[in-house]
Amino acid sequence: METLLRKPGALPGATALEQARQTGRFTPIHDAWWSAARKAHGDKEGTKAPIEVLLLHRRIPHEHLVAGLAASLPVGALTADAVAWRPARPPNPMMMPPRLSPRNPLPWPR
């Protein structure tokens, strides 16, 4: 896959792409996102973006990437970073607001 980043024009006929389609790892939402990325960024840069998304599969679960693709497509966030951010990510407890209680009535100091 890293080779395809240097030569993105090889992606449309790549064996890896065909294998990903056959196994369901490259879904119709991937295709729609890729098409929108090419339209927005041109063929070369627009084809690099889905390659970067495919590389994200190494560290992010497939269903989260598909959710990220689906969420980023309608708003035009056509980068791998936007897909990786995805709303399907489990909440980070450090980013959650503190719970209010009688001992902690306000989430900020007075």
Q: Decide if 4 contacts 16 (C-beta within 8 A).
A: yes
Q: Which domain holds residue 44?
A: 16-89
Q: Is residue 34 part of a domain?
A: yes
How many angstroms separate the CA atoms of 32 and 106, rounded? 45
Q: pLDDT truncated to tens, each residue of the chain (110 aa)? A: 556 555 555 566 667 778 888 888 889 999 899 899 989 988 888 788 888 888 888 888 888 889 899 989 999 999 988 888 855 455 555 555 555 555 655 555 54
> In the prediction, which pLDDT does 1 show?
58
Q: What is the pTM of this model?
A: 0.67
Give the count of domains, the chain: 1
Q: How far, in whole angstroms, is CA 31 from its chain's centroid?
A: 13
Q: In the 8-state DSSP scheme, what is residue 99?
A: P
3-state SS, 39-68, equals HHHCHHHHHHHHHHHHHHCCCCCHHHHHHH
> In the prediction, which pLDDT does 103 show?
62
> In the prediction, which pLDDT does 110 show?
47
Q: Is residue 84 part of a domain?
A: yes
Q: Is residue 65 part of a domain?
A: yes
> In the prediction, which pLDDT does 11 show?
64
